Each structure stands twice: as C-alpha cells, then as structure tokens.
Amino acid sequence: MSGTSNALAIDGRRFQRRLAELAAVGAIEGTEGCARLALTDEDRHGRELVVTWMRDLGLHVSVDGVGNVVGVLGADTVAGAVLTGSHIDTVATGGRFDGNLGVLAGLEVLETVIDRGVDTGRPLAVGFFTNEEGSRFAPDMLGSLVYAGGLQLEDALDIVAIDGAVLGDELARIGFRGAAPVPGPVPHAFVEYHIEQGPVLEREEIDVGAVIGVQGISWTRFAFTGQSNHAGTTPMSYRRDAGYVAMRVAAFVRELVAEVGPPQVGTVGRIELHPNLVNVVAATATITVDVRNTDDDVLRSVEERIARFVADVAGGEGVSVEAETLARFAPVAFDDRVIDLVEVVAKELGNTTMRLPAGAGHDAQMLARVCPAGMIFVPSVHGISHNPAEHTDPADIEAGANVLLHTMLRLAATDFGDHR
Ligand code: GLV
Ligand code: MN
Ligand code: MN
C-alpha cells in the first residue's frame, strides 16, 4: 500500500503554469477570469489544449458521444481505474479555478506518478465532463449525468441552448462528438478536487475540506405571457403585465428563502422582458428560479410554494404561465470510505480538515451513482465564485493537489468489493 510520504509531491509551479495557460483561453480582459461557455469556440480551444497535454503525457485519450474526455494512464479504459476530473467549461463571468483546478490537478498527479515511476497497482485516469455549468445548456452536470447513465445520449444531443444552438450540432462543430460509448466504463473510484466556492473553509481557517455530499438542486424556467399595451393609457385594472408577475415571483423567492432559513438558498439569475421598453407593458417575461437545500423534503415544499404563488399571481393578472424544469437533482451523499480517506490523507500531510457539504453542483455527484465517490475542497478567498475575481492561494492549491495525489494512490490500494 502506498504511504503518504511527503517525499512524493506534485510540482506546484508546473501546476500553476498550466492553470495560467488554460486561463488565457477565453480570458476576460482586465481580470483573472474566463468565459468559456460549454461548446463555444473558447471551450473548444480549452479542450484542445488539455487534450494536447494528455497526449504529451502518453495517456490513452478517448472522447465519448457527449464530448466527455478521459485520459488513462496504464490502460486503454477507465474500467477499474481510479478516476479524477471535473470540468473546463465556465460560466460567462467565470473564474480560472472552478472546474479547471480539478482537471489540471489530475494531470499534475499523473505526471508526478509518471516522473517518479510510482507503481500505482491500478490504472489512474483524469477526465473533463461536458457542460458542467449548465449556463448555456440545461441541466448542469450534463456530461457526467450521461456518463453515469442518468440521461440518454439522444436526449442530451437534442438539448437547445439559451442562444438556440443544439447540443449535438455544437459538439460536432467543435470536433468533440466522439465515438466512445456512453454510459461510460465504471471506474474503481472517483475523486474530484475543487475549490469550495463558498466562505466556510476560509472562515474556519481550515486547509482542506472533506466533502460529505452535494445539496439538492432545482432549476425552473417560468415563461409568462400577458399583453403589451400603452404605458400611459392603459388603466391599471386593464393590464395583463407579464413583467409585473415575473418580478413579484422573483421577490417572493427571496422572501420565501428568508422565511425557510438556512441552508435554503434561492436565486433568480435570469430575467427577460419583451419588448423591454420604457413605455410598453411587457407582453412576455421569462425568469429562472434556482433553489437548493440539503434536505429534499424542504426543497420539495419550497418548489410547491413557489408553484402555488406563481399560479395565484399570474391568475390574478390574467397572465398565462409555462413552467419548465431545467434541472432537478436530489441531494447526494458521498461514500463514507472516500470521505474518511480524504480526511485521513489530508491530516497525514499536515493539513487542518473539516467535513462539509457542497453548495454547488459537481460531476462527482453523478459519478457517485456508479462507483465510490468523494471530493476534496480548498478555500475560496472571500467565498467568491462564478465571478472573475474567484481566487485561491497557490499554497492551498498545491496542498489540495497533494491530497488528491495521495488519495488516488490510496484509493487504488483499497478494495471496495463489488460496487456495480
Ligand atoms: C453548477 O455547477 C452550479 O452549481 O450551478
Ligand atoms: Mn465547478
Ligand atoms: Mn461553476
């Protein structure tokens, strides 16, 4: 069994160089951040760069039907390998670490193992999954969901983006509609390294988080249709104002979340009015509602209360409603054996640790459907993420990558029994 000797460590400078090089693709001028929405040209260039690095390391690279890319060391399949990875797509105003950190840390781990000639016992692999963010195509974690068999490939390929593009066409256009089958081969175990994206580790002055699971996620798009009319001449009692209904719902989400209390969160991140003019009552309004909770029963009651409010306020205004579920994932608990291992390894390497749930969605929650899975978190400065100002200190980044390295080696030596 491999130990967690400090002698075996990743190369922090090489890791930072790759992070900077990938961040230069789709860089948002004047910031440290990136804009590489899934399956855009920027995503394509980021993908090509990472694939080049995988090939340079001599990994066996495969691309599956939904564009997930996996590089394996010591075998030609992920089946039975210890897999790590994350995503390299970003939100439009993304940081350089969300997702990218985990993918490049995986490369760094594999390069370290190659350089040092470590006998890992099992193959190791690193991958990146398509459209984790879900900003352009819903749902989020789409590639890993397909990989784990939770969404049929044909259904995924038909998904339409917020800009009208079709996922399958975009994959083909950027050259990433691959031949490897989905659902993908079942790994021995999966561990994902990610920034926390919230304030907990920094506030508690903890180096490394052992992630216990991911909270439930619910995304709904509400489209309201009323009637455009003159802003000056239309008496208030005559109005069928889609904008008014949308804004009442947006305010209600915030008030409801306050009433339910933590850990409930809720966001109206997108709102579109038509025709969006100063002197015209809005004919249509579209909003997205993102609500999350670690308790699925509470989350369900929040969804129900929002649906009732929408029906009441729209009905009162004579506005029709169409509701579309964009994403709905129940809370996920990670494998205790992986959580324990992350904690033990992090401590052995001299880090302070704590257990915490993930607030964001992650590819690991999909891989958890098919194999023992877990995650490693490092602190986010001021808890800022989905923002170009997202930052994590280089020393924390390096510490987390070493936890990943030794966790992967220990996972390779762990017998999980038959988990299929
Ligand atoms: C996506 O990863 C999200 O949590 O919004
Ligand atoms: Mn992420
Ligand atoms: Mn994200």
- pLDDT of 2 > 50? The answer is no
- Sign of the Cα torsion 379, 384, 387, 392 reads negative
CA 196 distance to own-chain centroid: 12
Decide if 97 contacts 387 (C-beta within 8 A). Answer: no
Distances (CA, A) of 324 to 32, 80, 315, 317: 35, 38, 18, 21
CB atoms within 10 A of CB 59: 24
d(CA 390, CA 94): 8
Q: From 55, 355, 383, select the one nearest 198 (Cα to Cα).
A: 383
Q: From 209, 215, 216, select the one nearest 339 (Cα to Cα).
A: 209
Residue labelled with tokens 């209600």? 252
Q: What is the pTM of this model?
A: 0.96
Q: Which one of the ligands is nearest to 386 CA?
A: 3
In a 3-state reduction of DSSP, which class is residue 121?
coil
Q: Which one of the ligands is nearest to 91 CA?
A: 3
Report the separation in Å between the CA atom of 196 and the middle of ligand 3, taken as the mean of its atom positions: 10
Residue 141 CA, closest ligand 1 atom number: 2
Q: Name the residue of 36, 93, 140 to mutate for ligand 1: max ligand atoms within 8 A of Cβ.
A: 140
Q: Name the residue of 133, 270, 290 to mutate for ligand 1: max ligand atoms within 8 A of Cβ.
A: 133
Residue labelled with tokens 């994959």? 171
d(CA 409, CA 411): 5
The total number of residues shown for the chain amounts to 420
Q: From 92, 57, 87, 86, select the one nearest 72 (Cα to Cα).
A: 57
The 10s digit of each residue's pLDDT in 351-409 is 999 999 999 999 999 999 999 999 999 999 999 999 999 999 999 999 999 999 999 99
Structure tokens at 360: 């964001």
The 10s digit of each residue's pLDDT in 236-250 is 999 999 999 999 999
Q: Residue 3: its pLDDT value, please?
A: 47
CA 334 distance to own-chain centroid: 16
Distances (CA, A) of 48 to 52, 63, 79, 81: 6, 12, 24, 23
Q: What does residue 397 show for φ and ψ, rounded to 5 degrees?
A: -60, -45
- pLDDT of 5 > 90? The answer is no
Pocket of ligand 1 (CB under 6 A): 132-134, 140, 360-361
β-strand 60-63 against 82-86: which pairing, if any? Answer: unpaired
Report the separation in Å between the CA atom of 136 and the middle of ligand 2, taken as the mean of its atom positions: 14
Decide if 321 contacts 222 (C-beta within 8 A). Answer: yes
Region 90-102: what's the mean pLDDT? 98
Structure tokens at 71: 């590089």
The 10s digit of each residue's pLDDT in 258-303 is 999 999 999 999 999 999 999 999 999 999 999 999 999 999 999 9
Q: Which one of the ligands is nearest to 214 CA?
A: 1
- pLDDT of 419 > 70? The answer is no
Decide if 376 contacts 84 (C-beta within 8 A). Answer: no
Report the separation in Å between the CA atom of 235 and the middle of ligand 1, taken as the mean of its atom positions: 42
Ligand 1 atom 2: the closest Cα is on which residue? 361
The share of the chain scoring above pLDDT 90, in percent, equals 97
The 10s digit of each residue's pLDDT in 142-180 is 999 999 999 999 999 999 999 999 999 999 999 999 999
CB atoms within 10 A of CB 15: 22
Report the separation in Å between the CA atom of 52 and the middle of ligand 1, taken as the mean of its atom positions: 27
Q: Residue 420: its pLDDT value, please?
A: 53
